Amino acid sequence: MRWLLVYRDDSLGDAWRAHFAGQPGVGIIGGDICAVECNAVVSPANSFGFMDGGLDRALSVRFGEALQSQVQQATAVRPLRELLVGEAMLAPTGDAHTPWLVSAPTMRVPMRLRQSVNAYLAMKAILASTMTHAGSPPIRSVAIPRLGTGVGGLPAKVAARQMWFAFSETVLGARRYPADLAEAQVRHVCLNPEEINLWDP
């Protein structure tokens, strides 16, 4: 599997390189994600599949307006009638070059994310869903955009750190299951140490 991290903002590209540089299977590319050659492209939308703004609007234009309706219909029949942050869903695009869309929300609805770990959760969902995909055509390359740094307002360095932790755990198997709740709390805070304080009222 090849993971393509696609940026428009140089600060995010630099932050990704600080974490992912030299990692086999990872490419860091500046440019338009809609023009990247890949089997699957990620939509970091909301939990209800509205794709009418920003990158998601560009994806709707790229693959056709029917894609939003398809994603929303698939979301509406899920048990909770929404796609939670930390979940991902694959949808066929009907495009011969990029046959799959990965819907992986970074937020339930548009909102600020500065104190969250949502980029980490979304990245884990993206990686897990594409690595276990058994449908046809197969997925060999995934284009992944910024997660949480747009409307969500996550600083590039925080989003990059969270995405790296997700990659190291999900793809590289770098971390064992936490031994206790205290270790789980420490790991949680480490994902966004500048903003998270578990005990603030």
pLDDT at residue 198 in the model: 86
| pTM reported for the whole predicted model | 0.95
| Tens-place pLDDT, residues 6-59 | 999 999 999 999 999 999 999 999 999 999 999 999 999 899 999 998 999 999
Q: Residue 183: inside a domain, yes or no?
A: no
Q: Is residue 112 part of a domain?
A: yes
Q: Give per-residue pLDDT as tens, 142-194.
A: 999 999 999 999 999 999 999 999 999 999 999 899 999 999 999 999 999 99
Evaluate whether residue 197 is within a structural domain. no
Residue 201: pLDDT band with limits 50, 70, 90: low
200 is a domain residue: no
Q: In terms of residue numbers, what domain contains 163?
A: 2-176
Please say whether the dihedral angle defined by the alpha carbons of residues 171, 172, 177 and 182, taken in this order, is positive or negative: negative
Determine, yes or no, domain membership for 191: no
pLDDT for residue 199 = 82
At residue 129, the pLDDT reads 98
Determine, yes or no, domain membership for 185: no
Q: In total, how many domains does the chain have?
A: 1
Residue 184 covered by a domain: no
CATH number at residue 142: 3.40.220.10
Helix ranges, the chain (H)? 10-20, 54-63, 66-76, 118-131, 156-170, 181-190
- Identify which of 27, 23, 25 has the alpha carbon closest to the alpha carbon of residue 13: 27
